[in-house]
Structure 1
């Protein structure tokens, strides 16, 4: 995937999440199929936190050349994801952390602003990455050492992966 294709896909996906917020009532946004699964609101919160505090934070670290190193390799799992530009089409549980709380959904209108900011920040970092040599990397807990462009691609892959979950919830809610 070229940087131009990545930016275009990232922008389209993030805008789709923003636009979808108008399709849900507050009740639909908070509804859960069962206790083991997330509501749309929880999924939105998870994506916001992952996008901001994980993916984009690591793009910034790579560009600032801090909390990482020059060089480093991806793991086999990372190489597989990036080679296919996709997570496997299976449900993935987020890594367990001691006493990790479930995401707490906020009002739908808040996500419009948060996701618009993520979109703006992601596109700005993508522009900065055009000047980056890609040698400085930070470590992903499962995929190994990633440079800034790979972190941004990971954000796009992760957001695209959750489109399946969004579709499942919309189908369950009877939203066409």
Structure 2
């Protein structure tokens, strides 16, 4: 029985990727046509890094409201996909209110209402998600090094 539990635990470790940082696709179809749907995988960024904050500041200033341009200390960052009426698609990490993750999309839509004649700021679709790489195509993540460690541990355990 104990060996079965150990083997099940080893298999579980082999298929589950452990990590605390949310990873999102990060692209803007104005500069990367592959960012549009149908989506072709783009660079992935850890939302907790300064790179994701800098990307929003440097490349999305003309699209996003000013209040979304500044990272809020301690706020969780979730993956976003925003499709503008102009056809531009943006995939990135943005700060969210954990009690109301869709508030970010509403802020973008409210800002768009202030400039109704500017099609570059009008929203066609906005979505928020909190799983790794959820703002692109679905994928299964596994860890080869973790699988190898689990296999070796299982072998050593059964060898006894």
Normalising by the smaller structure, the TM-score range is: under 0.3
- Structure with greater helix share of residues: 1
Q: What TM-score does the superposition give when structure 2 sets the normalisation length? A: 0.26
Structure having the higher Rg: 2
TM-score w.r.t. the length of structure 1 is 0.25
Higher RCO (C-alpha under 8 Å, 6+ residues apart): 1
